[in-house]
Amino acid sequence: MYHRWSSHPMTVVIGPVDHRVPPAISQSNSRSGKIQAYLHRRNGRRLQAGLLSFFRHYFATLLSPPTSLTHLVGGIGRTINSSSRSECEVIRRDVCIIGGGAAGTYAAINLLQEGYSVVVVEKTGRLGGHTITYIEPSTDTPLDFGVTLFEDSPETIEFFSHLAVPFAKASNGGRYMERIDFETGEVLEPYPGNVSEALERYGDILRQYPYLLEGWDLPEDIPEDLLMPFGEFVEQYDLGAAVELISIYSQGVRNWLNYPTVYLMKFVSLDMLRALQTGFLSTARHHNSELYEAALEELGDDALLHSVVVNACREDDEMHRLTVESTDGTHWMIEANTTILAAPPTGHVLDGLDLDDFESSLFSQFIYGHYYAGLVRVDGCPEGVQIVNRGSDRPYSLPLLPCILMMYPTAVPGVMAVGYGSEEPMTEEQVKGAIVEDILGLRRAGYEVDDPEFLAFADHSPFEMSVGRKAIEDGFYHDLKKLQGHRNTYYIGATFEYPGSSAIWRAVDRLLPSVVESIGRSEKLKV
């Protein structure tokens, strides 16, 4: 997830980044040819698949979304048209995708382009996951307060172009940043040191581990740099001046300094450092939910919103049968060759799945942070100023969670976007109360802020699924990789890459050849 935390007054120098994976590694990877062949087939079949999609969805009915926030679109919402389906209709598809966020939507659209049939099961009333847009009613201005930025990368441009969503370069700077300890009201200076030089050293270290740019294919003998706590890593390589920027672009994690360093390396990667130099993309109308509105229109009735899987039977190379229930009580039986889980593998999303011991043993090890985002109308904040929460008596001035992480102005005067982080789960009421308390604490810094009014709120938890050092050393990610294709089920999303839409889409592109192959195996067995 990329946010508009972007006004660092510096020049980032990291050296050229010409390839996500060096040529020697790319050419030695047997998957490369399969991926290229898949992408070639995908491009060659788009016209036919596009025509089929057009005629199928031309007649689809899109209904108005029920939402507790009248002007909140967050992707797009739509109720299930239960009258168009029988009480227990059987839906036969090549692939069932559980989760309609960035990963699930991208996979669904690309499989449709390939000519395969899909159904997406999404628990909320919209597609888009962390991408949420609020329409400010007095000005009709869209305000993104989840995902605001995308990498300027081929898969991003291709996805936007396919869905006919115009995009534009987004600025990396232009706003003044104020560093304030929300607890004491103390205004802080930047952490001492040369940020550009620290980031250059950090980039040099990242280039030693090019495999971190693609998934979690860690070597058997994992380097100590990746395993040590991030705080020790920062101290060892004198990266203190870069910690503020790294923390700003990895909001949503728990205590930064306690993480195995590999997670921060994945989050703030060479691709991220390059984007800080060259700029990000956004939708031209600054309405990122347009992307998922267009995707929902293309999917039509192949997207089951307000729905969850309540029972499943998944066997190797046999037809998967998943019972899906919507909030209005409608049930469907989905029969699919292959299942894709595109949601974080934890909590209620697993309740209806028939997990075996191998799956359960891996998913039960995950821990994660809690990240909340909102829009507040608050008078008294200086216009055009981003406010980042710092801890005056904390290492590297990092704030103590739970707390507001950052506030930044939006396109509507007086409306601020707020990010809030916690290591433990909190209710919406608790988070809102804590945000109000933190904002009013700005009075100690001399800002005459009024009581804030919430316009929109979103819970992005679970965020940044991770495991501890020992689990990584014991081969957790080697075992997690074995899950791909296990019981004809595949896994995509931030858990299997990191929380960035463009990186997730690249990971989906790498995995889809295996998904397509599994569909073919199932078809042969039926014959």
Looking at residue 408, which CATH number applies to its domain? 3.90.660
Q: In this structure, are 268 and 377 located in the same domain?
A: yes
CATH number of 111's domain = 3.50.50.60
Q: Is there a contact between 256 and 398 (Cβ–Cβ < 8 Å)?
A: yes
Q: In this structure, are 113 and 231 located in the same domain?
A: no
**461, 488, 517 — which closes off a domain?**
461
Sign of CA dihedral 492, 497, 498, 501: negative
Question: What pTM was computed for the model?
Answer: 0.85
Position 70 scores a pLDDT of: 33
Residue 270 lies in a domain: yes
Contacts of residues 482-487 at CB distance under 8 Å and 24 or more positions apart, as own/partner, are 482/358, 483/358, 483/359, 483/362, 484/511, 484/514, 485/514, 485/518, 486/358, 486/359, 487/314, 487/315, 487/316, 487/356
Q: In this structure, are 345 and 406 located in the same domain?
A: no
Number of helices (H) and strands (E), helices first, in the chain? 17, 22
Residue 63 three-state SS: coil
Q: In this structure, are 361 and 485 located in the same domain?
A: yes
**434, 461, 488 — which closes off a domain?**
461
Which residues constitute the domain of residue 440?
Answer: 173-278+367-461
Residue 27 lies in a domain: no
Q: In this structure, are 274 and 289 located in the same domain?
A: no
**420, 442, 461 — which closes off a domain?**
461
Residue 70 lies in a domain: yes
Position 471 scores a pLDDT of: 98
Residue 38 lies in a domain: no
The whole-angstrom separation of Cα 255 and Cα 253 is 7
Helix, strand, coil abundance in the chain, percent, nearest 5: 40, 25, 40
Vertex 98 angle, CA 95 and 100, to 5°: 105
Residues contacting residue 44 through CB under 8 Å, at least 6 positions apart: none
Residue 327 lies in a domain: yes
How many domains, the chain? Answer: 2
**DSSP-assigned beta bridge partners for residue 308:** 325
Q: In this structure, are 208 and 353 located in the same domain?
A: no
Q: Is there a contact between 359 and 339 (Cβ–Cβ < 8 Å)?
A: no
**DSSP-assigned beta bridge partners for residue 281:** 150, 169
Position 328 scores a pLDDT of: 94
Residues of the chain with pLDDT under 70: 1-87, 172-174, 522-527
Residue 5 lies in a domain: no
Position 524 scores a pLDDT of: 54
Residue 34 lies in a domain: no
